Amino acid sequence: MTGLFITATDTEVGKTVITGAIAAACQARKVNTGVMKPVASGGVRNCQGSLISEDAEFLMAAAKIDCNRRHLVNPICFEAALTPAVAAQIEGKTVDLQLIYNTYHQLCNQHDVVLVEGVGGITAPIWQEFLVADLMLKLQLPGIIVARPDLGTINHTVLTAAYARQRGINVAGIIINGCKEPTGILEHSNLQYIKQLTGLPILGKLPRVSSIDVTAGKQAALAELAEQYLDMNGIIAIMRRTEQ
Residues annotated as catalytic (active site), given as ranges: 37
DSSP-based helix, strand, coil % in the chain, nearest 5: 45, 20, 35
Backbone angles phi, psi at 203, to 5 degrees: -95, 5
Nearest to 36 by CA among 1, 83, 82, 85: 1
**CA pair distance 170, 10, nearest whole angstrom:** 19
* Residue in 132, 133, 124, 149 with CA at minimum distance from that of residue 206: 149
Residue 202: phi and psi, rounded to 5, are -90, 115
Alpha-carbon span 83 to 81, nearest angstrom: 7
Residue 101: partners with Cβ closer than 8 Å, 6 or more residues away: 138
